Amino acid sequence: MLKIERSKIYKKDIRKQKFSDQHYARYVAYLGRLVEERALPKEAYDHALAGDWNGYREFHISGDVLIIYKIVGDTLYLARIGSHSELFSR
């Protein structure tokens, strides 16, 4: 079982999120699967990132709410949560 570490910006991002009950349940379920080192379901669109986020992965909670994370050793590191435009616009 992995430990969870949240970045300072993730903690700030999560306070801004407005989850529906369905999306919150998915958020909890997906993080639970990652902590248990189990694969996410296909609908999460879990995939590796490149460029500035090389070494990280992202998965979708809903159409435009996603989490950027990486697993290092025995730690699930949560880097960011938000929409594509919030996380990837320059």
Confidence of residue 9 (pLDDT cuts 50, 70, 90): very high
Residue-range definition of the domain harbouring residue 60: 3-88
> How many domains in the chain?
1
Q: According to the model, what pLDDT value does residue 90 have?
A: 64
β-pairing verdict for 47-48 and 65-72: unpaired
Cα–Cα distance, 20 to 49 (Å, whole number): 27
End-to-end CA distance of the chain: 36
Q: What is the pLDDT of residues 56-85, one digit of tens each?
A: 999 999 878 999 999 999 999 999 999 988
Contact 79, 13 (CB under 8 A): no
At residue 8, does pLDDT exceed 70? yes
Cα–Cα distance, 70 to 6 (Å, whole number): 11
Q: Which CATH number covers residue 72?
A: 3.30.2310.20
Helix, coil or strand: residue 73: coil
Mean pLDDT of 38-62: 95
